[in-house]
Amino acid sequence: MLSADQLKQYEEQGYVILEQLFSNEEMDRVRSIIDVFDMESEEALKQKGKGFIAIPNQINFTSNLARRHEDLERFIGDQRFVDLTTTVLGPDIRLYWDQSVYKRPEAKRDFPWHQDNGYVPTDPVEYMTCWLALDDATIENGCIWIQPQSHLQGFVEHKKTDVGWQCYFGEDPGQPVPLRKGSMVIFYSLLFHRSTPNQSKDTRKAYVIQYSVEGTKNPDTGVIFDNGPLIAVGGKAVIV
């Protein structure tokens, strides 16, 4: 799944882009399931008002999707994810977290620079984030931006802002990661990333899927994470 060069790039730069890993048909199927969950949670968000990171009519995060729909559970346990994650992380892999991120045309602010570990601490600290474009993600519609090699700094302090945790306040704009529908960027959970405003007329739709080694725990509580299914044991797929 990953060539030796890609694995080297992952280790050294902190990310790898996988072009058109999934077909348009697969993306249409996955997106149409997620659209329904997003619509429900967007309605709830509108009733409740702004959360910490979710803002009605702007940016919505809908989580634990694989636990809520068997087609999505099969999707996140697909052999392609098993190959990728076991190559990078090891033989026994669990879905750590999954969420859709729908950024609407009214989203006029950055989702700020952060490491995914800035939201919840993990032991071991590294896990893998897969940011999958359910439709084309462009600079115009608010694709993510990364700072290559930033994972090499290890975990850095985050400050709470009114739109999310933030770990970088400097001038480096980073590198945009526009992705065609069905393409995916995989990166270290420690890699600095952000997304920019959506200046298009359409909602930018992503599925963020994160994997960790089985037994990963919260170092503050000692509790082992169980937010999603096991997808590989001894390097072999569990969900068929």
Catalog residues that contact ligand AKG under the rule CB under 6 A: 101, 103, 111, 116, 144, 193, 195, 206, 208
Residue 182 CB, shortest distance to ligand AKG, in Å, is 16
Q: Which is nearer to ligand AKG, 132 or 213 (CB)?
A: 132
Residue 208 CB, shortest distance to ligand AKG, in Å, is 4
Q: Which is nearer to ligand AKG, 85 or 195 (CB)?
A: 195
Cβ contact 144:195 at 8 Å: yes
Name the token pair of 87: 């190559």
Residue 97 CB, shortest distance to ligand AKG, in Å, is 9
Q: Which is nearer to ligand AKG, 92 or 113 (CB)?
A: 113
Residue 59 CB, shortest distance to ligand AKG, in Å, is 7
Cα separation, 165 vs 112, in Å, equals: 7
220: β partners: none
Residue 117 CB, shortest distance to ligand AKG, in Å, is 10
Cα separation, 171 vs 80, in Å, equals: 37
Q: Residue 164 carries which side chain, given as an amino acid letter?
A: G
Closest listed residue to residue 22, CA positions, set 102, 131, 95: 131
Q: Which is nearer to ligand AKG, 101 or 231 (CB)?
A: 101
Say if residue 121 is preceded by a cis peptide, omega within 30 of 0. Answer: no
Q: Quick one: residue 46, left, alpha or beta (phi over 0 = left, psi -120 to 50 = alpha)?
A: alpha
Q: Which is nearer to ligand AKG, 94 or 194 (CB)?
A: 194
Q: Residue 177 carries which side chain, given as an amino acid letter?
A: V
Name the token pair of 216: 């990963």
Q: Which is nearer to ligand AKG, 13 or 195 (CB)?
A: 195
Residue 157 CB, shortest distance to ligand AKG, in Å, is 17
Closest listed residue to residue 191, CA positions, set 150, 219, 221, 163: 150
Q: What is the torsion angle, in degrees rounded to the nearest 10, for the CA atoms of residue 146, residue 216, residue 156 and residue 193?
A: 10
